[in-house]
Every structure is written in structure tokens, then in C-alpha cells.
Amino acid sequence: MMKPNHLLSILALLLFVGCQAELPKGVLSERRLERVLYDYHKAQGMADAGVIEGKSGDLQRYELQEAVFRKHKITRERFDTTMNYYCSNLERLNRIYKRLDRRLKREAEALGEVEQSGSAYTSLSAEGDTANVWGGASIIVVTNVPGSNVITWRQPCDSTWRSDDDIMWRFDSKYLSRAQTPELFADVVVTYTNDSVRAFQRRARSEGSTELRMATPTGWTPRSISGHLYMPPTQAADQRSLYVVQNHLLVRFRKNVETKPADSLAADSLKKSSVVPDSLAADSAARLVPDDDRRLSPTEFRESQSVDQKIDIIKEKPYQPTARPSRGHLQQPRRRVQR
């Protein structure tokens, strides 16, 4: 009778052989390709940094890549065959790069390196006025193989979104290619609650960070956000290329619009008015309001006026004759004749 441990070993061996049988001839396994890609990307980073003096970047890249192939005892042709296969099977390629990303992060932490990806936005959570609300995959692989050269993501906006909230999609990218630097385009499309749609596109950086920022018109509220990553396709097997897009951030920027009370707005508008008020009228108005909020008497009102505003009115008595005039008051007086 076969022991249970032997049975488990045989089942594991059959499973391993079955998995290997699924791969075409000359194609590396996932684990082995992962080890090759680890050294491959490090070599590419060294070439970009120009570690070998006196040689061009392309020549350095070629020589460092050849050193990686010699280390893993494979040819460039076998590496290309393997990449052509995995570029047509993005699910497997994504698994490889997720493990590779975790390995690189663990090594960076062990060396005490501080991750610079995302700059000030890496520490953002889903809360607050400026928040990272990304809910998609952590790593996206895009290839130039027809059918897998366009990757789309979509994310609805929940009730925490408000009108005038701005949007930024940020990610890091690095490429793997035998030919010249491949092209990668990214676009973000925003649909608003008023059924309007706005889009923004730009070419992604071949190595490093790319940001796509969308300003929201005043009074509009985002309803859903979607994005696309696109590489121009090619049928040539010797020109296979891919981009690894990771460290995604979807940042919501809330505009700090403070609503002031009506009284303070009125006071501010009076202060900022370009019309200079009449100082005399202001003084008079100030004196019209007593401290005890009672109505002024006519005498108090008159006394409250400034000196140059007072008008003194003197009433004179009308003329009244003391006696009735005689009939002859209109006749000329007669001369007296002396005798």
C-alpha cells in the first residue's frame, strides 16, 4: 500500500508536469521568467543611469541585457519567444509582475530606501478633502499585441464627491522592449451628473511618473471616472513591447469654498465698496441712534446736528397797523399861506 506522503508527492509532481506541459516549447516557466525579469529590469535601470562611462545608452543596455541572459543560461531568442507568449497571456504576466513588485519593495525596505512614488500623495487615504480614491488593480501590464494593447478601468463616484471636485490620475511606468522606446498613451474620461463628458489625453513617460489632471467646471459634480492605457499594436513578433504601469493614484481635490454668513458678507461688501460714503451723512446717521435705542425728540435731533448743518429760523411778528388811516391820507398836504 502506498503511503500518504508518497501519494502527495506523486500528485504534486503530476501537477507540476501538467503545468509545464501547458507551455509551448522554449517558453520559460513563470517562476523562472520572474527571476530573469528581476535582473533584466535592474540592468535596464543601470543602463538608464549610465553606469559605464564612454558608451552610449543603447550600447550599455545591450551589453547589460546580454549579461543577464548569460547569467540565466538562456539566449535572447528564447527570451523573446517567452515574452511573445506571455504578452498574449496577460493574466499570467500580471501574476509575474505582482510577485516581482512585492520582491522589489521588500528589498527596498530592507535597504532603508524611502519610496518616492507618488510624492506627497502616497500617504493619502480615502478620507479628507484631498483623498486617494483609487480602487483598481495595483499593477497593469499593457502590450503592443493586438487585443491586449488597450486596458480600460472605470470607477463610479459615490456620495462623498461634491461639485467642483478636481481629479488627478497618477501612475509610474517602465517598459520592456527590444526595439526603440515604445509609445504609451493614457487618457481619463469624466462623466458628470448633468450628463456632460470631458476627456484629457497625454503621452505617458517611458520611465517615471505621469499625471493627468482634470479641472471640474464650476457647479459640476463628477458621476463616474474611467481611464485607458493604449499602445499602438504591431504584428511583428520581433518588436514585442510592454509597459508595466503601477503605483496608481486617483486623487480627489476638494476646493475649499467657505460660505460666509449673510451679515459678514454685507459688512465685507460695504468695506470693499468703491463708493466713498459722505462723512457728514455718516456722522449724522451715527448721532441719530442713541445708546438706549429710543426715539429723539425734535430738540435733541436739532442739537445733534453739526454746526455747519444747523439752520436757525427766526420768525418775526407780522406788521399790524395801530390806527385806521383817514380818507385824506392819500391827498397832498396844503401849504399854509402866511398873511
Query: 180 burial class (0-12, 13-18, 19+ CB within 10 angstroms)?
Result: exposed
**Strand-strand pairing, 130-132 and 197-203:** unpaired
Q: Provide the 8-state DSSP code for 155.
A: E
Burial of 326 (0-12, 13-18, 19+ CB in 10 A): exposed
Task: Kindly report, residue by residue over 41-87, the tens digit of the pLDDT.
Answer: 888 878 777 666 667 667 888 888 899 999 999 999 999 899 888 88
CA–CA distance, 148 with 187 (Å, rounded to integer): 17
Q: What is the mean pLDDT of residues 16-32?
A: 75
DSSP string, 108-133: HHHTTPPP-TTGGGTT--SSSSEEE-
pLDDT at 311: 45
The 8-class DSSP code of residue 149 comes to S
pLDDT at position 46 is 80
Q: Mean pLDDT across the stretch 213-228? A: 93
Q: What is the pLDDT of residues 300-328, one digit of tens each?
A: 666 665 544 444 444 455 555 555 555 55
Range of weakest confidence among 30-39, 117-126, 232-241: 117-126
User: Would you kindly state where each structural domain of the chain is located, as residue ranges?
Assistant: 17-110, 123-253
Task: Please give the distance of CA 172 from its chain centroid, rounded to a whole number.
Answer: 16
- For 337, counting Cβ atoms within 10 Å of its Cβ (0-12 exposed, 13-18 middle, 19+ buried), the class is exposed
Tell which CATH architecture fits domain 123-253.
Sandwich (2.60)
Residue-level pLDDT at 146: 87
Q: Does the pLDDT of residue 1 top 90, yes or no?
A: no
Q: What is the predicted pLDDT for the residue at 206?
A: 82
